[in-house]
Amino acid sequence: MDAFYHIQGLTINQQLMSIVIPAAVTAVSLLVSLALFKLKKYVEAQTNNATVGFAMARLCDIVQTTVEEIDQNVKEASADGSLTLEEAKRIKFIATNRVFQQIPPDLEATLNMATGNLKDWIDAKIEQTVHRQKE
């Protein structure tokens, strides 16, 4: 009977432990690796969200400041009480160019990604800001 429980000088418990312990260590290692991978993705996502949020906030500030700066141009162009379509297009072109000149190069790629089409977004934001100022 002793021979049955002792195979190659090891008890059944020892044999089971020699199988279970390496399997458990492997499983724990895989779980820790998976957890670290998910944590890395989470941190990357949070960092990207923070970067995009910062970039968008900065862009909104730039648009607001630019619209305030060109407000004098609008007043001069509409001194007679009206603003022609050509004058409005020229002022919007100037505003859009000023905004692009003020965007830090390192944020431009982020803003393009976040807006899909940065120029169209800036044009719409300028119009929205001008409209809000009229109210």
CB–CB of 118/108 below 8 Å?
yes
Q: % helix / strand / coil in the chain, to the nearest 5?
A: 85, 5, 10
CB–CB of 111/59 below 8 Å?
yes
**One-letter amino acid of 27:** A
Between 83 and 103, where is the model more confident? 103
CA of 125: how far to CAs of 8, 27, 68, in Å? 80, 53, 13
What pairs with residue 11 in β-bridges? 6
This prediction's pTM: 0.61
Q: Which residues fall within 8 angstroms of residue 83, CB to CB, at 6 or more apart?
A: 74, 77
Question: CA-CA distance, 24 to 15, in Å (whole number)?
Answer: 14
Instruction: With a cut of 60, say whether residue 7 has pLDDT above it.
Output: no
Structure confidence by residue, pLDDT tens digits, 59-101: 989 988 888 888 776 777 666 767 777 877 888 888 899 999 9
Instruction: With a cut of 70, say whether residue 17 has pLDDT above it.
Output: yes
How many CB atoms lie under 10 A from the CB of residue 48?
Answer: 13
Q: Which residues fall within 8 angstroms of residue 58, CB to CB, at 6 or more apart?
A: 103, 104, 107
The share of the chain scoring above pLDDT 90, in percent, equals 3
